[in-house]
Structure 1
Amino acid sequence: MKKTALSLSLAAIFALTGCAQTTTQTDAQQARSVANQQTNEAAFKAFSDQFIEQYWQQYPEQSMYYGYGKYDDVITIPDAASRTASLAFIDTQLTKLHAFDLTSLSASLKIDYHLIENRLKSTRWEIEKFKSWQWNPSRYNVSYGFATILNSRFKSEDEKLRLVFDRLNYVPAYYRAAQANISDPTLEYTQLGIQQNNGAFSVLTDDLLTRVDSLSTFSEKEKAEFKQRFANAKTAIHGYIDFLTAVEKKMQSTGEARSFRIGEELYEEKFAFDIQSGYTAKQMYQKALADKARVTAQMIKLTDQLWPKYFPNTTRPENDPEAIATLIKHLSQRHVEKSQFVDEIKRQIPELENFVMEKDLLTLDPEKPLVVRQTPDYMRGFALASISAPGPYEKKENTYYNVEPLDGLTDEQAGSMLREYNHWILQILNIHEAVPGHYTQLVYSNTSPSLVKSIFGNGAMVEGWAVYTERMMLEEGYGNFEPEMWLMYYKWNLRVICNTILDYGIQVKGFSKEQGLDLLMNGAFQERAEAEGKWRRATLSQVQLTSYYSGFREIYDLREEQKKQLGQDFDLKAFHEEFLSYGSAPVKFIRQLMN
């Protein structure tokens, strides 16, 4: 049939009508899809809020760490019943979580999903397979909870002491359960448990009795009961210390004790839960070996540059490690006095804050104070410096920069430590721990709109950020691009790399103490006191030492990718603030959001 203009026009109209109908159907389908996604996301957010509340009920001590406050009067008795209840809670929550369609959630909520799942599964693995509740006596210590209450700036004296009053009632049962749990402990954790529980008496001091007596809000009956609970608690702590002391003596006399090495299978599993990296532990170990060689090569170049300045009349040794070590040893003589160690750290913090603001690297919040203090006794024996930050529910509380004083060390030990934390490295330490490292990152983390990301944060991201800022600050001109500062930075960075090598080497490959100290002292140019301290730390933890290097590598690589993609539009401050806005999420997930 011959087609006319009219028939063609009608055909076009019918075709357009069909397209309109199809378009309408597609729009309706899209609208339904969007509505379904919004419904699913709203349901997931409601689940998340409910989950966090129930999580704090199940694990009240953790709620205190994050400043929730509602369960500060409770101490969980660490017995078989609490472990059974924990496993039941985990199974129930995982069933609820897995009912959600992961594909229907936004990228940000997918991260929350993975973080919740990882926390639940890792807790179950800890209870059922890793079982450190049996062989790590140092995990039992009531000091932290009491200290958190007593250090609060926003609780009245009556409120503090009433919380202490309630918590004291749990202490005898807590330590009875702890003692019953201990089976085949490691010598190292037993000794740490003794040391740190002795530190409890620096928190539970007789001064508390005087403070209670002075309060008119406590009745005479309550004051008498407080004194009895206080005495019972101290007796329980002494009893646990005596128990551990007897266990320690037996292990030392027989020479038989559980090895602190956990082996490859447990190590890989713990690495997967703790680091949440795209790499296996073995792959990260191999990357660290390669980076160790690269950094050492940079140190050789800097040594060649600086040698004539410091040794104008001495021929440089042909052996590169010997030359590097000689130069570092010479430079390390520049350090503060033993008695001024903590004061010098206090002095440097404002300088770091001024540099960050002048270079416009990050926005700093002046209402979030950083308090440098000597590490409390109950926390000593693990790290020279650390940060105690407020949680997302107590954002106005102080952040504490804990520094172990050198007073208790011999002159020889203190001298070794001061050479390690010399004029240059002490500044890098303060960048790492304070500004713009841990302190700054944790302040930002508390502003994240997602409580899940703030609460179930990733240690590799937290440590990796602190390591990243060390290099970033030097790249931006901190230290005036002095080759001495860069040499010491590489020495410090080499330590981060060797942390990974050491941790994997000890736990999986069976490095001896001699091998470990050789790696740190001759491979990473560390002082003996620092190397000894790191060896001790490696026997008292697993995987955590790898978090510094793995997090740093992923953050630095992400920044370089962003710079390449954005070109002249790349803004360093914008990168930092967007990166930190996602809370302490694993870097691999932050990468997805930023890309």
Structure 2
Amino acid sequence: MKKALISLSIALALTGMVGCQSSPQQVNQQADQFTTQISFEQFSTQFIDDLWQLSPTWAMYNGKHINDGYLEIPNQANRDKTLAFINTQRGWLKTFNQQTLSASNLIDYQLINNLLNKLDWQITTFKSWQWDPSNYNVAGGFAQIINEDFAPLDQRLASVVARLENVPAYYQAARDNINDPTLTHTQLAIQQNRGAFSVLNDELVQKVNDSGLSNEQKALFQQRFTSAIKAINEHIDWLLALETKLKAEGSRDFRIGAELYEQKFALDIQAGMTAKQLFEKAVADKNRVQAEMAKITATIWSKYFDIPKPTDDKKAIRLLIDKLSAKHVKRDEFVEEVRKQIPELIKFVNDKNLITLDLNKPLVVRETPEYMRGFAGASISAPGPYDKGGNTYYNVTPLDHMSNESAESYLREYNHWILQVLNIHEAIPGHYTQLVYANESPSLVKSLFGNGAMIEGWAVYTERMMLEEGYGNFEPEMWLMYYKWNLRVIANTILDYSIQVNGMGEEEAIALMENEAFQQRAEAEGKWRRATLSQVQLTSYYSGYREIYDLREELKLKQGEAFNLKQFHEQFLSYGSAPVKYIKQLMN
């Protein structure tokens, strides 16, 4: 088969020679290049297959069901196996001459290389498998099997039975790994592992009892289910004792410091600049956006106040935002209001011809599952490229767990205007739309190993693009709230770097978010928590947004009247979730 493919590549090269009268030397170079492209594409396909064999759970999350019944045990043997895989794949990469690869394949080469470097770094340098107990939770894999209709129920339940076998060993390995953990990640692990019982529950037991599984399978399920529940409870008890000890004796700082931060930024963001440079850019942008907000405030102040506008611009902006924020949905209607807005966004995108939407790919708004709560109030769970027809879930956390005071603060943050911006970001034409396009990319590498800055940056870019195209009827209130939201994106970068590298404390961080980014107290407290649980990810929004917006403006200037916004969007998204700097190369 390989020989036939190489022969085909030479034939194609020779066919091309006839029209352009290439020299024999050029013909040989073209043949070599075609052979290299096919060889690299064979390698990338084999790389993905080998990766899924190494981590079938990762494959399952991407819609590739090769061994759903196997739960990997996160022990030293597993890490050694991963490092051996990395070394083998690096050896294969060295056999390719990057100068002979096509632009698209060169980007795939760089993405694979970056992924290998990241996996290596996570195991040998970052070592969050030691200090972050929230890495360990079995619920997600079981939920994926139970809730996604990718196969007959009996087949999926058989995988559940098989997967349950390793749950006790999984949690034993977790406890063996955990060493000098942070308090914040320990507390998150407690919350999320308690949420596992929303998946492994009586409803699952009833499904198995009512299924077509054999009596032997049902008996094995009951035995393994009982052992799994016991293992999870034992682990939670162990975590609770650990939490008590950490509170009494002190714990590891959740801050990772400048050196690790720069390394993680380079691997995660791939932005062509350092974290410090992005931080400095964000500080400058913060001042620019605040100036735009001051202009809008001056224009509409008299519409809402009978008193003179304060001379302090930030004070005036804060007063106007507080006034407008009182307009929000009722607490118990929050999730339903999100559902209602999705058709309106679809209609606007179609009417303005901004991008082609594939409405055959379902978007389901749901309450965030309990095992996923505690990190973000809204998120997207999308199917991978192997399961293109699967549901994309827009997870929205209801406010029933909040006090009245906290719920009101939260609703004022996600008020009438900002809730619309949030839905643009998460759904149409933000994350949901981008991830549907990513699944259609001819390059599985770009679709599967997506760049977080590109993914988040696209969602942030669409917020501004929609308003520029007239969403909200150019209402100044909408623009003011958009700038407030955009300022939060900018502040995310400032906040994350300041906390993780510069040692910023909670009160100073909340003051930044409240006084400089005009956020509500509940939102500021939630963002502080998020910044203690993650590193670098908060910078991805701003980094990707600036790169995408700047690329669009560059092409508009270059192409003039020939520039077409819909064409730009669809071409940009056609390359999958590659880093923006690589997409820019392809588009140019």
Question: So what's the TM-score if we normalise by structure 2?
Answer: 0.96
- Within the candidate set 493, 499, 515, 2:486 is matched to 493
What is the 5 A alignment of 1:179-578?
Answer: 179-215=175-211, 217-254=212-249, 256-311=250-305, 313-578=306-571
The 3-state SS of whatever aligns with 2:395 is strand
Question: Matches of 1:175 and 1:427 in 2, distance apart?
Answer: 41
Q: Which residue of 1 aligns with 2:79?
A: 83
Indicate conservation of the 8 Å contact 2:454/2:577, yes or no: yes
> 5+ residue gaps in structure 2?
1-19
- Within the candidate set 14, 35, 40, 1:39 is matched to 35
**Residues 1:257 and 1:489: Cα distance change in structure 2 (over 3 Å):** same
Which string of whole-angstrom CA distances, capped at 9 and with x for unpartnered residues, describes residues 427-454 of structure 1? 0000000000000000000000000000
- Paired residue type of 1:287: K
Q: CA deviation at 1:153?
A: 2.1
Question: Matches of 2:144 and 2:197 in 1, distance apart?
Answer: 15
Question: Matches of 2:448 and 2:256 in 1, distance apart?
Answer: 27
Q: CA deviation at 1:170?
A: 1.0
The 3-state SS of whatever aligns with 2:504 is coil
Q: CA deviation at 1:26?
A: 6.2
Q: CA deviation at 1:155?
A: 2.0
Q: CA deviation at 1:154?
A: 3.0
Q: Which residue of 1 aligns with 2:137?
A: 141
Question: Matches of 2:126 and 2:395 in 1, distance apart?
Answer: 30
Question: Matches of 2:414 and 2:92 in 1, distance apart?
Answer: 50
Residue 132 in structure 1 maps to residue 125 in structure 2: no
The size of the alignment, in residue pairs, is: 569
Which string of whole-angstrom CA distances, capped at 9 and with x for unpartnered residues, describes residues 192-212 of structure 1? 000000000000012222222
> 5+ residue gaps in structure 1?
1-23
Q: Which residue of 1 aligns with 2:26?
A: 30
Question: Matches of 1:362 and 1:347 in 2, distance apart?
Answer: 21
Which string of whole-angstrom CA distances, capped at 9 and with x for unpartnered residues, describes residues 288-331 of structure 1? 000000000000000000101111x2011111111000000000
Question: Matches of 1:83 and 1:116 in 2, distance apart?
Answer: 19
Which string of whole-angstrom CA distances, capped at 9 and with x for unpartnered residues, describes residues 399-458 of structure 1? 000000001111100000000000000000000000000000000000000000001110
Question: Matches of 1:411 and 1:506 in 2, distance apart?
Answer: 29
Larger Rg: 1
Q: CA deviation at 1:219?
A: 2.2
Q: Which residue of 2 aligns with 1:18?
A: none
Q: CA deviation at 1:555?
A: 0.1
Q: Which residue of 2 aligns with 1:14?
A: none
- Paired residue type of 1:233: A
Question: Matches of 2:515 and 2:89 in 1, distance apart?
Answer: 49
Q: Which residue of 1 aligns with 2:112?
A: 116
- Within the candidate set 92, 97, 110, 1:96 is matched to 92
- Paired residue type of 1:219: S
Q: CA deviation at 1:546?
A: 0.1
Question: Matches of 1:27 and 1:277 in 2, distance apart?
Answer: 40
- Paired residue type of 1:305: T
Q: CA deviation at 1:230?
A: 0.2
Q: CA deviation at 1:223?
A: 1.3
Question: Matches of 1:45 and 1:221 in 2, distance apart?
Answer: 45
- Paired residue type of 1:265: E
- Paired residue type of 1:275: I
Question: Matches of 2:239 and 2:125 in 1, distance apart?
Answer: 24
- Paired residue type of 1:392: P
Question: Matches of 1:392 and 1:26 in 2, distance apart?
Answer: 40
- Paired residue type of 1:264: A
Which string of whole-angstrom CA distances, capped at 9 and with x for unpartnered residues, describes residues 502-533 of structure 1? 00000000001011001100000000000000
Q: CA deviation at 1:75?
A: 1.1
What is the 5 A alignment of 1:42-81?
Answer: 42-81=38-77
Question: Matches of 1:352 and 1:435 in 2, distance apart?
Answer: 6
Indicate conservation of the 8 Å contact 2:56/2:65, yes or no: no
Q: CA deviation at 1:25?
A: 10
Residue 579 in structure 1 maps to residue 575 in structure 2: no
Question: Matches of 1:49 and 1:477 in 2, distance apart?
Answer: 43
Which string of whole-angstrom CA distances, capped at 9 and with x for unpartnered residues, describes residues 525-567 of structure 1? 0000000000000000000000000000000000000100100
Question: Matches of 2:559 and 2:103 in 1, distance apart?
Answer: 22
The 3-state SS of whatever aligns with 1:393 is helix
Question: Matches of 2:37 and 2:519 in 1, distance apart?
Answer: 51
Question: So what's the TM-score if we normalise by structure 1?
Answer: 0.95
Q: CA deviation at 1:221?
A: 2.2
Q: CA deviation at 1:218?
A: 2.1
Question: Matches of 2:295 and 2:148 in 1, distance apart?
Answer: 50
The 3-state SS of whatever aligns with 2:263 is helix
Question: Matches of 1:172 and 1:137 in 2, distance apart?
Answer: 16
- Paired residue type of 1:314: I
Question: Matches of 2:508 and 2:210 in 1, distance apart?
Answer: 57
Question: Matches of 2:51 and 2:384 in 1, distance apart?
Answer: 15
The 3-state SS of whatever aligns with 1:510 is coil
